Amino acid sequence: MQGQEKMRYKIEYFKILNPPDIKGIINFINSTQNFFQVIDTKNVYSEIEIESAMLRADRKRSSSRVREPGILLLLYLGFTDQISVAISRTGISPETDHCAVVAGNSEDIKDFEREFPYFIRENRTIPIDTNNDDIFEKMSYVDTLI
């Protein structure tokens, strides 16, 4: 990413009042021009983990066999090189009741809220940081696989 400015991401947390419309959310993600990903927070330990996974996904995007940054983010957060496993661990499902939205543009989050009004913004639902080096070791292992 030589010559490119480091991208800043916004993380917002939501409580989901109804089972999420997975196809609708995927269509929304695919329609955005900027980075946008919805993450089930049940297996995410800290906001620092999300930020670290984003930095790794940004770095790996041009050299990985996986070029989609949202999928790379899920791979790092799911500690795996298998897309289906990563989606089942950290992607949203009909059972998801809390999530984090990671976006490159705040307007996309506002558009998401308008399209999915049963996603209610809430304060952070995971800690900002944890002292678990095992998380980052697992992400480093994923680096070697993808």
User: For 93-141, what is each residue's pLDDT tens digit?
Assistant: 999 999 999 999 999 999 999 999 999 999 987 777 766 777 777 878 7
Is the pLDDT assigned to residue 51 strictly greater than 50? yes
Does residue 83 fall inside a structural domain? yes
Q: What is the mean pLDDT of residues 20-37?
A: 95
Does residue 74 fall inside a structural domain? yes
User: What domain range is 70 assigned to?
Assistant: 10-145
Query: Is the backbone of residue 21 left (phi > 0), alpha (psi -120 to 50) or beta?
Result: beta
Is the pLDDT assigned to residue 9 strictly greater than 90? no
CATH number, domain containing residue 114: 3.30.2380.10
Q: Are strands 10-16 and 98-103 parallel, antiparallel or unpaired?
A: antiparallel
Share of the chain above pLDDT 70, in %: 92
Q: What's the whole-model pTM score? A: 0.85
Total domain count, the chain? 1
Does residue 1 fall inside a structural domain? no
Share of the chain above pLDDT 90, in %: 60
